[in-house]
Structure 1
């Protein structure tokens, strides 16, 4: 697409969101508050998410790197500046190392095929460049470190390939430590300590989102620098293993880290949260950690589901499969979709900002939560 056409596309996408009547803006409408005016200028970091159309999920699969016009338009209209996109091995029968290398190549190819919209993020300068150009920065990240095998030095390989964020475990245990669904809660292994040391040495941001409580505490304590929890919630408000205790959150903040609050069913123990629950978790995290240590990691995209009934049926089938494989997290159950249903669509960040603004949070604090805190953390870990 030529530069003039690209600018017209971006302008139309933004104008469509700005012109949306208040009556269509979900929570903002029934709360009766005015819109927060700063989204267009804010840096918005989705600390875990993607640019995809969930309506194609059944046809393309979870690891798709094929972008459609609707997904791109929605992501641009949402104000997203950069997103930590999951690549690499998460779970399944694939050989973890080989599969992870393959997905890095696929992601690089996706970015190269869409230069008018996407930019690979390897530094904070790239995030700022994405904002300036009206593009979406793609941060390559792993949600499992199983691909390290028994060689901690593999961290150096992935860092060299541009992987910027690595989560130590998924829900179950691996050779590095216990995940949130591992009942033993054994913490980091000796090999896990070696992996954290290599992540620190290569300026790779450590992610503890799916880790078990002891693994999380161990990793924060031994890390030479700040650590992230890119997508989680507060266990004080919803006592499920995927959420983090106040002890974990305080220790993370004391070390300079940032927690991203997700838009996931784990925000309520009955698994049917709404937008106000997202705000409750953000506000609790701010109270525990301070305003410099809280952000957003939606664990999803920005395109709305067209046929919720069909999507529910598909997700129920996936949950049954995950439960049978032993990788399902507590809070995943039939009838529950992996997002907050009334927080779908490209105005999701605007809605959150509107409610925070109406609740008395300053524009400076809202800007930190939307992205500045993660930019600061990434600068601390990655350098300029």
Structure 2
């Protein structure tokens, strides 16, 4: 990974407070060096220099990540950490990532994952407000609300953070809550997170009822507000309905091709094509045991890039980006702890895979784009092609969506 950004001054989350007095303190996972560095790339000195220059000289955007630091001892501390609603941002890791901006999908720690039937409105606002308070006490991360903020971050050697939510479940049947979320700074939102809600069906449901009438109303409001829409965790019919209902291009921020790996968590190529025909972009996923492939069934950078090369052939390079969906800490252990609420069994279906401790080469936000760009350089992609998939394609959609 890269050296720390010069604009980063060493700030640590909530350091303006006293741990143990103002909030419960937990021993957190290492942001850097938690697992061995990836050894799968063999770049020449010239190739490494080119890859590093592409990272430092250009805008680089993650379409989906969770750049929070989780407890080192998950079994003991996770529930208390999540219920506290005070997520720790991985500033030190992000400062070495090479990213210009990251779509930070707030974990909604006090509700959606720690208890079934979560996504409570008041808890989501609590989590968003807490994160924004932390950001307001430092100068490295910039809260992104418009395209100019991403450009500002790039020009100043800083990093932009785009607040996002994986589902709109918490708005219940009140469409005006989308306006409130927008006012808080949310700029991207999913329709449903695996389970059905008032807008439509999630990917785990036996029967996909499609976008509801209220869901159509919500999509129309998202378009008017300038909220980018994501269908990564929505069912296939619901996703298609959203594609048709939206007057603006939409995202699949973090998934892959079902033709490469046949699970519900991936999207069928026909659906991906329908999205891209209306200008949308897919961000490639790298959360553990998702974007596997027959050629690389042990999840690694190579597995994810099998989805990349396939989708470049299917929909064109101009519609592909990266949404790694990584975090700082034991992501596999986190999935184990949340397995019932995350619907992992339903998402994977009957496909067998070999469980791993981490995704080799795409383990956390600090290393993802360092290795992705290195892979693209090694495999002969041009500078313009690399710029397109690490930011240009995303920016093209945002220029149309963010009003």
Match of 2:104 among 57, 82, 85: 85
Structure-2 residue corresponding to 1:20: none
CA contact (8 A) 2:97 2:369 kept: yes
Instruction: Please point out which of 182, 190, 196 is paired with 1:159.
Output: 182
1:259 to 278, 282, 285: 282
Q: Residues 199 and 206 of structure 1 are in contact (CA less than 8 Å); yes or no, is this contact kept in structure 2?
A: yes
CA distance in 1, matches of 2:194, 2:237: 13
CA RMSD of aligned residues (A): 3.1
Choose the corresponding residue for 1:76, options 87, 95, 98.
95
Q: Return the alpha-carbon distance in structure 2 between the equivalents of residues 121 and 57 of structure 1.
A: 32
The answer to whether residue 154 in structure 2 is matched with residue 136 in structure 1 is no
TM-score normalised by length of structure 1: 0.83
The answer to whether the 8 Å contact 1:65/1:110 transfers is no
Partners in 2 of 1:193 and 1:185 — Cα distance?
15
The answer as to whether partners of 1:90 and 1:144 remain within 8 angstroms in 2 is no
Q: Deviations over 1:124-158 (max 9, x none)?
A: 11111112222221111111111111122221221
From the two aligned structures, give the one with the greater helix fraction: 1
Could you tell me how far apart the structure 2 residues matched to 1:162 and 1:376 are? 20
Contact 1:33 1:354 (8 Å CA) reproduced = no
| Candidates 368, 371, 379, aligned match of 2:388 | 368
Question: For residues 338 and 227 of structure 1, what CA distance do their matches in structure 2 show?
Answer: 33
State how far apart, in whole Å, the 1-side matches of 2:71 and 2:358 are. 14
236 and 157 in structure 1: CA distance in 2 versus 1, 3 angstrom threshold: same
Residue 66 of structure 1 pairs with residue 88 of structure 2:
yes
Residue 319 of structure 1: how far off its partner (Å): 4.6
Instruction: State how far apart, in whole Å, the 2-side matches of 1:249 and 1:81 are.
Output: 26
Aligned to 2:252, the other structure's residue is in SS state strand
CA gap of 1:358–1:10, structure 2 versus 1, over 3 A, is farther
Change (3 A) 1:84 1:339: farther
Residue 220 in structure 1 maps to residue 243 in structure 2: yes
Distance 1:103 1:8, change over 3 A: closer
In the alignment, structure 1 residue 242 sits paired with structure 2 residue 281 = no
Residues 69, 88 of structure 2: 8 Å contact kept: no
Aligned length in residues: 356
Uncovered stretches (5+) of structure 2, i.e. residues with no partner: 11-35
Q: Output the TM-score relative to the length of structure 2.
A: 0.79
Residue equivalent to 1:229: 252
1:53 maps onto 2:69 in alignment? yes
Residue in 2 aligned with 1:292?
A: 318
Alignment of 1:265-304 (within 5 A): 265-268=289-292, 272-301=298-327, 303=328
